[in-house]
Structure formats: structure tokens, C-alpha cells
A = this chain, B = another copy of it.
Amino acid sequence: MSPRPDVSEERKSQILDAAIAVFARLGFHQARMDDIAQEAGLSKGALYLYYKSKDTIIAAILKYLFTQEMKVLHSFVATEQPGSVRTQLEQLTQQLAEAMNWMSRLMPIAFEFYAIAGRQKEVHQFLKEYFKEYRADIARLIQRGIDRGEFRAVNPQAVAITLTALYEGLALLFFVDPQAVQWSEQITTSTRLLLDGLASQPPSPQ
């Protein structure tokens, strides 16, 4: 007898895909577990085997997305990159911007990512760890720039908090007003403005 294959990971990702589609169509508050089961082609009973509520589903989506983004950041920082640290940070920003672009289908539920942190302590804790790792990775990059004499002797942790806050704040402004805040261009422009302030040499005239 061959062992029964474990399909649970596949099933979960099928449910999350269905949930994203339903949330995008109906909004988080109007969507019902029934709608998600139907979209996923599952019985309601089967759905409840994996997720007990919309809250556990939105928490799973958040964790999935943030874990993917952290993988991008980790592998970027761990790999020896060509070019100046400034160029590396600009490339990283571009990668993060692209990751957000496909997240635009999640716009209707963007605010739920914040809300769920208020409702579930465990998600709050997850975000706390996530931002901590995020800042640590960025700080390593900044330190590299200081070591190479590219950046002034700034505090790498303070710069890391600043860049992390900038990305999160831009995402929030984008959620609130996608017409006014062009995500891809703005994240590049904002990062450059900040990097100009770190340079050991004054920025070249525009």
C-alpha cells in the first residue's frame, strides 16, 4: 500500500486563493464562509477542517504574504550583490514594489491586515517578529554601506527603522488613495531622497 499523500498544504493554498477572490468581490465583511467554500469547490465541512473563521483565513493570508516578502529580503541580504550598497537598496526597493503590485488585488481587504492585529494577539506577535527581522536585515545593509565608506557614520538601526516605516507608511497611503500615491514610482523616489541624506559625498545636482 502506498501512503496516502498529504494534500493539506495544497488544500490550504486552494482555500486562500478562493478567499482572496471572494474578499475582493464582496469585501471582507460581506463575504461568508459559504461563499469561500463554494468558490474553492469544497463542502462547508471540508472548509472548516482547515479554517474555523474568516479571521483565521485573513490571518493565514497575512502570514503567507509577509513570509514571502521576508524570504525575498533575507535572500537579498544574504547574497553578495554587485554594485554599491545604494544600488542594492534601490534594487531591493524595486523588488518590494513589484511584490506589492500583485498585491493590488488585495486592496479591498488591505485594512483587515491591520485590524486582525488588533483582534488576534498571535498575529500582533507575528508582526512584531516580522518587523524586527525586517529592521535587522536592512540594518545589515546600511552597516555594509558605512563599512565601505559609501554612507556617513549614521546609526544603522535608526536608518533601518526609518526605511521600514517609510515602506509601511507608503503602503498605507496607497491603500487610502491609490490615485494620489503611485506606489512604484513613489517608493523609488522616497528611498532615493533618504539615501541622498546618508551619502558620505553630497548628492549630485539634479
Cross-chain contact B166 with A173 (CB below 8 angstroms): no
A110 within 8 A of B: yes
Interface of A is mostly: helix
Copies per complex?
2
Which of these, B162, B168, B172, contacts A189 with CB under 8 Å? B162
Cross-chain contact A127 with B176 (CB below 8 angstroms): yes
Cross-chain contact B194 with A155 (CB below 8 angstroms): no
Residues of A in contact with B, size category: 35 or more
Q: Give 1 or 0 for each of A144-180: 1 = CB within 8 Å of chain B CB.
A: 0000000011110011011011111110110011001
Task: Give A170 to B165 CA distance when docked, in angstroms.
Answer: 5
- Of A28, A161, A169, most buried by chain B (CB within 10 Å of CB) is A169
Cross-chain contact B189 with A155 (CB below 8 angstroms): yes
A124 within 8 A of B: yes
Cross-chain contact B176 with A128 (CB below 8 angstroms): yes
Task: Give A124 to B118 CA distance when docked, in angstroms.
Answer: 18
The 6 closest A-B pairs by CB, nearest first: A169-B169, A111-B118, A197-B197, A115-B115, A165-B169, A196-B197
